[in-house]
Amino acid sequence: MLDTPTTQPERIAACANPADHEAWSWLQETYRKPIGDLCLRSGLTPVETDEVINDVLLRLSRRLVAKPFNRETIRFRAWLSQITHLRIFEVRRQRQRNHLTTQALVQMTEWLPGTLAPQTDLEARQKLEQHLWAVCLDRVRNSVPPSSWQIFEAYCFHGLPSPEVARTFNTTEFNVRMIRMRMVRRIRRQWAILAEEGIQLPESPAGEAP
Protein backbone atom coordinates (compact mmCIF):
# COMPACT_ATOMS: atom_id res chain seq x y z
CA MET A 1 0.00 0.00 0.00
CA LEU A 2 1.19 3.51 -0.77
CA ASP A 3 2.31 5.56 2.19
CA THR A 4 -0.08 8.44 1.50
CA PRO A 5 -2.00 10.95 3.64
CA THR A 6 -5.54 10.15 4.69
CA THR A 7 -7.78 10.38 1.64
CA GLN A 8 -9.90 13.52 1.42
CA PRO A 9 -13.00 12.44 -0.56
CA GLU A 10 -14.19 15.98 -1.24
CA ARG A 11 -10.89 17.04 -2.78
CA ILE A 12 -10.63 13.81 -4.78
CA ALA A 13 -14.16 14.35 -6.09
CA ALA A 14 -13.25 17.89 -7.16
CA CYS A 15 -10.69 16.45 -9.56
CA ALA A 16 -13.53 15.04 -11.66
CA ASN A 17 -13.70 18.54 -13.10
CA PRO A 18 -10.73 18.94 -15.51
CA ALA A 19 -11.04 22.72 -15.24
CA ASP A 20 -10.40 22.73 -11.47
CA HIS A 21 -6.67 23.45 -11.67
CA GLU A 22 -6.35 23.97 -7.92
CA ALA A 23 -7.70 20.47 -7.26
CA TRP A 24 -5.37 18.94 -9.84
CA SER A 25 -2.35 20.75 -8.44
CA TRP A 26 -3.20 19.48 -4.96
CA LEU A 27 -3.61 15.93 -6.29
CA GLN A 28 -0.20 15.90 -7.97
CA GLU A 29 1.58 17.52 -5.03
CA THR A 30 -0.01 15.03 -2.61
CA TYR A 31 0.54 11.76 -4.48
CA ARG A 32 3.63 12.28 -6.66
CA LYS A 33 6.13 11.62 -3.83
CA PRO A 34 4.43 8.51 -2.37
CA ILE A 35 4.22 6.93 -5.82
CA GLY A 36 7.88 7.78 -6.44
CA ASP A 37 9.00 6.38 -3.09
CA LEU A 38 7.28 3.06 -3.83
CA CYS A 39 8.93 2.88 -7.25
CA LEU A 40 12.41 3.56 -5.87
CA ARG A 41 11.91 1.00 -3.08
CA SER A 42 10.92 -1.50 -5.77
CA GLY A 43 14.24 -1.08 -7.59
CA LEU A 44 13.28 1.27 -10.41
CA THR A 45 15.77 3.85 -11.62
CA PRO A 46 15.00 7.58 -11.19
CA VAL A 47 14.09 7.84 -14.89
CA GLU A 48 11.82 4.79 -14.71
CA THR A 49 10.30 6.16 -11.51
CA ASP A 50 9.44 9.47 -13.16
CA GLU A 51 7.85 7.61 -16.06
CA VAL A 52 5.69 5.54 -13.72
CA ILE A 53 4.63 8.58 -11.69
CA ASN A 54 3.45 10.43 -14.78
CA ASP A 55 1.72 7.38 -16.22
CA VAL A 56 -0.11 6.62 -12.95
CA LEU A 57 -1.24 10.24 -12.64
CA LEU A 58 -2.43 10.14 -16.24
CA ARG A 59 -4.46 6.99 -15.59
CA LEU A 60 -5.80 8.51 -12.41
CA SER A 61 -6.93 11.67 -14.21
CA ARG A 62 -8.82 9.64 -16.80
CA ARG A 63 -10.45 7.49 -14.11
CA LEU A 64 -11.58 10.47 -12.04
CA VAL A 65 -13.13 12.18 -15.03
CA ALA A 66 -14.88 8.97 -16.10
CA LYS A 67 -16.48 8.04 -12.77
CA PRO A 68 -16.11 8.73 -9.03
CA PHE A 69 -14.66 6.26 -6.57
CA ASN A 70 -17.22 4.27 -4.60
CA ARG A 71 -15.82 3.42 -1.17
CA GLU A 72 -18.12 0.38 -1.01
CA THR A 73 -16.47 -1.22 -4.04
CA ILE A 74 -12.89 0.08 -4.05
CA ARG A 75 -11.06 2.63 -1.97
CA PHE A 76 -9.08 5.37 -3.65
CA ARG A 77 -5.74 4.55 -2.01
CA ALA A 78 -6.15 0.82 -2.74
CA TRP A 79 -6.83 1.55 -6.41
CA LEU A 80 -3.87 3.92 -6.66
CA SER A 81 -1.58 1.37 -5.01
CA GLN A 82 -2.75 -1.37 -7.34
CA ILE A 83 -2.17 0.70 -10.48
CA THR A 84 1.29 1.75 -9.26
CA HIS A 85 2.30 -1.86 -8.56
CA LEU A 86 1.06 -2.96 -11.99
CA ARG A 87 3.13 -0.26 -13.69
CA ILE A 88 6.20 -1.24 -11.66
CA PHE A 89 5.81 -4.85 -12.81
CA GLU A 90 5.37 -3.69 -16.42
CA VAL A 91 8.57 -1.64 -16.30
CA ARG A 92 10.55 -4.56 -14.92
CA ARG A 93 9.22 -6.83 -17.69
CA GLN A 94 10.00 -4.26 -20.34
CA ARG A 95 13.62 -4.20 -19.25
CA GLN A 96 13.89 -7.69 -20.71
CA ARG A 97 12.79 -6.77 -24.23
CA ASN A 98 13.35 -4.11 -26.81
CA HIS A 99 9.86 -3.21 -27.97
CA LEU A 100 8.29 -0.27 -29.74
CA THR A 101 4.54 0.27 -29.67
CA THR A 102 2.55 0.20 -32.90
CA GLN A 103 2.03 3.95 -32.67
CA ALA A 104 5.75 4.52 -32.15
CA LEU A 105 6.55 2.40 -35.21
CA VAL A 106 4.12 4.43 -37.31
CA GLN A 107 5.62 7.72 -36.14
CA MET A 108 9.21 6.62 -36.71
CA THR A 109 8.30 5.53 -40.22
CA GLU A 110 6.99 9.03 -40.91
CA TRP A 111 9.89 10.87 -39.30
CA LEU A 112 12.87 8.90 -40.58
CA PRO A 113 14.09 7.32 -43.82
CA GLY A 114 14.53 3.57 -43.96
CA THR A 115 17.76 1.65 -43.59
CA LEU A 116 19.77 0.03 -46.36
CA ALA A 117 18.92 -3.48 -45.24
CA PRO A 118 18.66 -6.44 -47.66
CA GLN A 119 15.78 -5.58 -49.97
CA THR A 120 14.96 -9.23 -50.54
CA ASP A 121 14.47 -9.96 -46.84
CA LEU A 122 11.63 -7.83 -45.51
CA GLU A 123 11.74 -9.38 -42.05
CA ALA A 124 15.48 -8.68 -41.67
CA ARG A 125 14.94 -5.10 -42.82
CA GLN A 126 12.13 -4.52 -40.33
CA LYS A 127 14.12 -5.98 -37.45
CA LEU A 128 17.13 -3.80 -38.28
CA GLU A 129 15.03 -0.66 -38.56
CA GLN A 130 13.20 -1.29 -35.30
CA HIS A 131 16.44 -2.00 -33.46
CA LEU A 132 17.99 1.24 -34.73
CA TRP A 133 14.83 3.21 -33.93
CA ALA A 134 14.90 1.88 -30.37
CA VAL A 135 18.56 2.89 -30.00
CA CYS A 136 17.76 6.32 -31.40
CA LEU A 137 14.84 6.83 -29.00
CA ASP A 138 16.89 5.64 -26.01
CA ARG A 139 19.58 8.20 -26.81
CA VAL A 140 17.03 11.00 -27.03
CA ARG A 141 15.21 9.87 -23.88
CA ASN A 142 18.46 9.92 -21.90
CA SER A 143 19.36 13.42 -23.11
CA VAL A 144 16.20 15.30 -22.10
CA PRO A 145 14.33 15.97 -18.83
CA PRO A 146 12.05 13.03 -17.94
CA SER A 147 8.99 15.29 -17.86
CA SER A 148 9.61 16.44 -21.45
CA TRP A 149 9.97 12.86 -22.62
CA GLN A 150 6.73 11.85 -20.90
CA ILE A 151 4.82 14.69 -22.53
CA PHE A 152 6.22 13.71 -25.92
CA GLU A 153 5.49 10.02 -25.39
CA ALA A 154 1.91 10.61 -24.23
CA TYR A 155 1.17 12.90 -27.16
CA CYS A 156 2.95 11.08 -29.98
CA PHE A 157 3.22 7.43 -28.98
CA HIS A 158 0.05 6.99 -26.91
CA GLY A 159 -2.02 9.23 -29.16
CA LEU A 160 -3.55 11.32 -26.38
CA PRO A 161 -5.05 14.67 -27.39
CA SER A 162 -3.00 17.74 -26.55
CA PRO A 163 -5.58 19.18 -24.07
CA GLU A 164 -5.47 15.98 -22.00
CA VAL A 165 -1.67 15.86 -22.06
CA ALA A 166 -1.44 19.54 -21.11
CA ARG A 167 -3.81 19.10 -18.16
CA THR A 168 -2.09 15.97 -16.89
CA PHE A 169 1.38 17.49 -16.95
CA ASN A 170 0.25 20.94 -15.80
CA THR A 171 1.42 22.74 -18.93
CA THR A 172 -0.06 24.36 -22.05
CA GLU A 173 -1.13 22.85 -25.36
CA PHE A 174 1.37 25.14 -27.08
CA ASN A 175 4.17 23.67 -24.95
CA VAL A 176 3.04 20.13 -25.76
CA ARG A 177 3.32 20.86 -29.47
CA MET A 178 6.66 22.64 -29.05
CA ILE A 179 8.08 19.65 -27.16
CA ARG A 180 6.95 17.36 -29.97
CA MET A 181 8.70 19.52 -32.56
CA ARG A 182 11.94 19.66 -30.54
CA MET A 183 11.90 15.91 -29.89
CA VAL A 184 11.44 15.08 -33.55
CA ARG A 185 14.44 17.29 -34.34
CA ARG A 186 16.50 15.45 -31.73
CA ILE A 187 15.39 12.07 -33.11
CA ARG A 188 16.42 13.07 -36.63
CA ARG A 189 19.74 14.37 -35.32
CA GLN A 190 20.45 11.10 -33.49
CA TRP A 191 19.49 9.18 -36.60
CA ALA A 192 22.12 11.12 -38.55
CA ILE A 193 24.67 10.36 -35.83
CA LEU A 194 23.90 6.65 -36.10
CA ALA A 195 24.65 6.90 -39.82
CA GLU A 196 27.98 8.60 -39.07
CA GLU A 197 28.82 5.76 -36.69
CA GLY A 198 28.89 3.31 -39.58
CA ILE A 199 25.26 2.36 -40.19
CA GLN A 200 24.57 3.04 -43.86
CA LEU A 201 21.34 4.97 -44.40
CA PRO A 202 19.84 6.57 -47.50
CA GLU A 203 19.57 10.31 -47.87
CA SER A 204 16.54 12.06 -46.38
CA PRO A 205 13.66 12.76 -48.78
CA ALA A 206 14.04 16.04 -50.63
CA GLY A 207 12.95 19.04 -48.66
CA GLU A 208 13.14 17.39 -45.24
CA ALA A 209 15.64 18.30 -42.54
CA PRO A 210 17.92 15.45 -41.39
- Asked, for residue 202, whether it belongs to a domain, the answer is no
pTM of the model: 0.52
Which pLDDT belongs to residue 181? Answer: 95
Together in a domain, 54 and 79: yes
Together in a domain, 158 and 73: no
Residues sharing a CB contact under 8 Å with residue 4, sequence separation 6 or more, in sequence order? 30, 31, 34, 77, 80
What is the tally of structural domains in the chain?
2
Residues sharing a CB contact under 8 Å with residue 172, sequence separation 6 or more, in sequence order? 166
Instruction: Give the whole-angstrom CA distance, residue 194 versus residue 182.
Output: 19
What is the CATH classification number for the domain harbouring 67? 1.10.1740.10
Q: Pick from 40, 74, 94: which residue ends a domain?
A: 94
pLDDT digits (tens), the chain, 210 positions: 566 666 677 778 887 787 888 888 888 888 899 999 888 887 788 888 998 999 998 888 888 877 777 665 567 788 888 888 888 878 876 765 556 777 888 888 888 876 544 455 666 667 777 777 877 888 888 889 988 998 999 899 888 899 989 988 889 999 999 999 999 999 999 888 877 765 544 443 333 333
- Asked, for residue 122, whether it belongs to a domain, the answer is yes
Provide the residue range defining the domain that includes 174.
102-196
Backbone angles phi, psi at 101, to 5 degrees: -65, 160
Together in a domain, 150 and 82: no
Rg for the chain, CA atoms, rounded: 20
Which pLDDT belongs to residue 136? Answer: 83
Q: Pick from 70, 94, 118: which residue ends a domain?
A: 94
Instruction: Give the whole-angstrom CA distance, residue 173 versus residue 152.
Output: 12
